[in-house]
């Protein structure tokens, strides 16, 4: 439909002003609802080629369209805005083409042509020393959704994560467990593995702080105390032993990481995210270290007197950056070099490698990509940092020492509980088995958190308001889910009544309501929105789209009756329209990783 009009405009420009403009350069926008029309074309910039005022130019193009473009029934021009009305029959035909006379799941409106590209999306990648929190939820939902969106947009996608299983942080938990743990295990304590390890990370921090305080009291200055606290030195020693593969340290490391993984896996499963391939820092850091040594030989990097290895990025306007410590151990950057290499080896011809990581690491990735370039890897340009904003609480930033961290498992449980309470309050699920009810609460609770975290532009920092997030009214996941459930009820009834959606006599649909036009228009936007979401790596685009559509449908639902409609054809049409709307909502929500219930 849009394409036909753009074509018409291009022809008009050619015929009237001998001006050539490619159809893809013609931008149409939906007409604002206070004006008559479906699409609006802006004619201000055309004054140069038409040598007439924008209004007159608009009129001439409008005139041409009405004459030559079948779909266009009327036009009006306000200043430089040419409002184009599409005839009702064309809109019904547009719907017929989209609905395709088939089951709506196969509708061509959802199908995007393959791009032939392969994209790898990294997300999650937590440290293995504490459980997941609210920030990880945004990360996981965002990364997972972007992967779904890119796949729907025609790409081959692999979801990966790097597991930061080595480094000083895990040594801290290990050491504290050794010192204070008394052999406690997830089984013996009944604590989920990731939470148990997190507990000892906190224990470490407590002991460390106490030691620092003691040293300061003994007359040492704070900075020195923070570097020389015995427990910290012990942790550093442990990391060194680990890199030497000391059997005892290694065994403990394997045990405790195992606890964390099983804890994480339980959380991932509940969240509905998964991965095609996992990378372990403990595997990749050695590759990184080798490449750094190579770079050193080639003179890309340099060594300081104390033996530490650095890269000089001052020519690029950045600083010098450490790549290997003086004791030879690796830093974050070292392993990231190795990980990138492994990925481009694993996925030959990779078009893009997307890192879903918070914006506090923008500098880090800038440096990483520059280093890869300096090492001579052409594919460095295919690396992209999908940088998202932090999640703040009404009280400010989340801080583990102040105990203001919102735990992921707790939050999800809270949302599911709220869904249960709200549903029972409304008393709408008579006839549900216990199992079905539990499944519904899970869908609603998770739908609420996911939607809340993804409706905001990922690049922006966002506020997590616990009270508002458990709201199920307004611009929320459950509102959209509710709309879907409502449509499902309509479709169940239609099938009961034997209303067929096949072989609808679309020519018999003479007059349609504004809300129906809105829905047809919205459905027709799916691909464009999907492309936009893919280009911007923004699930928020799909969230907004699904919400707008749900609103449109609810308006349609209250304005018009389906089963009280005397005109059989019109009834069929409305059922079909409902079916395709439901499918569009389901798809859009699916791209966010949100499931929709048949009943609620």
Shortest reach from residue 407's CB to RNA, in Å:
18
| CB of residue 534 to RNA, shortest distance in Å | 15
Nearer to RNA (CB atom), residue 63 or residue 269: 63
Cβ of residue 600: shortest distance to RNA, in angstroms?
Answer: 4
Query: Among residues 352 and 387, whose Cβ is nearest to RNA?
Result: 387
Which of 93/126 has CB closer to RNA?
126
In this complex, which beta carbon is closest to RNA, that of residue 20 or of residue 561? 561
Task: Count CB-CB contacts under 10 A for residue 242.
Answer: 21
Q: Which residues contact 143 (CB under 8 A, 6 or more apart)?
A: 121, 122, 123, 124, 159, 273, 354, 356, 386
Backbone angles phi, psi at 298, to 5 degrees: -75, -5
Residue (189 or 465) nearer to RNA, CB? 465
Q: How far is the C-alpha of 23 from the C-alpha of 544, rounded, in Å? A: 27
Q: Least distance from C-beta 114 to RNA, angstroms?
A: 26
Q: 458 in the Ramachandran plot: left (φ > 0), alpha (ψ -120 to 50) or beta?
A: alpha
Complex with RNA: residue 73 or 475, whichever CB lies closer: 475
410-423 burial: b if 16+ Cβ within 10 Å, else e: ebbebbbebbbebb
DSSP 106: G
Q: Which two tokens stand for residue 365?
A: 């990735």
Half-sphere exposure of 322 (CA within 13 A, CB side): 12
Q: Which is nearer to RNA, 3 or 188 (CB)?
A: 3
CB of 557 to RNA, least distance (A): 5
Nearer to RNA, 350 or 369 (CB): 369
- Nearer to RNA by Cβ, of 215 and 499: the residue is 499
The least distance separating RNA from the CB of residue 65, rounded to whole angstroms, comes to 15
The CB-of-406 to RNA minimum distance in angstroms stands at 15
Contact 199, 130 (CB under 8 A): no
Least distance from RNA to the Cβ atom of residue 569, Å: 16
CA distance 492 to 488: 6
- Pair of tokens at residue 27: 């931008």
Closest distance to RNA from the beta carbon of 343 (Å): 18
Give the span between the Cα atoms of 202 and 176, in whole angstroms.
9
**Cα atoms found within 13 Å of the Cα of residue 222, Cβ hemisphere only:** 1
Q: Single out the residue of 146, 41, 16, 1 nearest to residue 542, CA to CA.
A: 146
Exposure string over 5-44, b if 16+ CB within 10 A, otherwise e: bbebbbbbbeebbeeebeeeebebeebeeeeebbbbbebe
Q: How far is CA 348 from the centre of its chain?
A: 25
* DSSP 8-state assignment for residue 390: P
């Amino acid at each position: 439909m849009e394409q036909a009009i753009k074509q018409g405009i291009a022809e008009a420009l050619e015929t009237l002003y001998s001006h050539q403009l490619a159809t893809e350069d013609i931008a149409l926008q939906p007409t604002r609802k206070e004006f008559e029309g479906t699409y609006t074309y802006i004619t201000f910039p055309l004054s140069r080629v038409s040598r007439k005022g924008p209004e007159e130019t608009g009129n001439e193009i409008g005139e041409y369209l009405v004459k030559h473009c079948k779909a266009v029934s009327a036009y009006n021009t306000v200043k430089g805005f040419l409002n184009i009305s599409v005839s009702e029959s064309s809109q019904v035909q547009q719907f017929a083409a989209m609905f395709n006379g088939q089951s709506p799941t196969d509708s061509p409106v959802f199908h995007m042509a393959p791009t032939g590209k392969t994209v790898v999306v990294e997300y999650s990648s937590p440290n293995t020393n504490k459980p997941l929190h609210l920030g990880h939820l945004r990360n996981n939902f965002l990364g997972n959704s972007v992967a779904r969106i890119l796949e729907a947009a025609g790409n081959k996608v692999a979801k990966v994560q790097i597991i930061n299983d080595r480094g000083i942080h895990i040594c801290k938990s290990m050491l504290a467990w050794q010192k204070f743990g008394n052999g406690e295990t997830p089984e013996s304590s009944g604590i989920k593995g990731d939470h148990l390890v997190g507990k000892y990370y906190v224990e470490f921090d407590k002991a460390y702080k106490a030691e620092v305080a003691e040293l300061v009291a003994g007359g040492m200055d704070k900075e020195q105390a923070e570097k020389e606290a015995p427990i910290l030195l012990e942790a550093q020693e442990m990391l060194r032993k680990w890199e030497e593969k000391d059997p005892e340290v290694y065994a403990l490391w394997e045990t405790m990481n195992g606890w964390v993984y099983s804890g994480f896996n339980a959380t991932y499963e509940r969240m509905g995210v998964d991965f095609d391939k996992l990378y372990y820092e403990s595997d990749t850091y050695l590759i990184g270290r080798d490449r750094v040594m190579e770079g050193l030989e080639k003179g890309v990097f340099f060594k300081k007197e104390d033996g530490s290895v650095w890269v000089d990025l001052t020519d690029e306007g950045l600083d010098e950056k450490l790549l290997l410590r003086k004791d030879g151990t690796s830093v974050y950057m070292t392993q990231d070099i190795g990980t990138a290499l492994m990925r481009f080896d694993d996925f030959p011809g990779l078009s893009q490698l997307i890192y879903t990581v918070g914006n506090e690491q923008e500098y880090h990735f800038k440096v990483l990509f520059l280093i890869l370039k300096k090492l001579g890897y052409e594919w460095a340009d295919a690396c992209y940092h999908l940088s998202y904003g932090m999640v703040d609480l009404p009280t400010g930033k989340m801080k583990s020492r102040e105990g203001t961290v919102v735990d992921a498992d707790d939050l999800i449980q809270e949302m599911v509980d709220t869904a249960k309470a709200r549903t029972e309050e409304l008393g709408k699920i008579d006839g549900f088995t216990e199992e079905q009810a539990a499944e519904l609460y899970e869908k609603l609770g998770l739908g609420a958190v996911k939607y809340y975290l993804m409706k905001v532009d990922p690049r922006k920092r966002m506020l997590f308001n616990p009270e508002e997030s458990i709201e199920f009214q307004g611009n929320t996941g459950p509102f959209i889910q509710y709309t879907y459930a409502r449509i499902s009820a309509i479709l169940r009834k239609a099938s009961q009544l034997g209303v067929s959606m096949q072989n609808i006599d679309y020519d018999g649909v003479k007059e349609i309501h504004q809300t129906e036009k809105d829905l047809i228009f919205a459905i027709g936007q799916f691909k464009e929105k999907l492309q936009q979401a893919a280009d911007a790596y923004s699930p928020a685009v799909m969230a907004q789209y699904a919400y707008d559509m749900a609103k449109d449908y609810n308006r349609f639902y209250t304005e018009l009756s389906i089963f009280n409609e005397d005109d059989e054809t019109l009834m069929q049409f409305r059922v079909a329209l409902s079916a395709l709307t439901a499918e569009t909502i389901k798809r859009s929500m699916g791209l966010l990783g949100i499931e929709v219930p048949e009943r609620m």
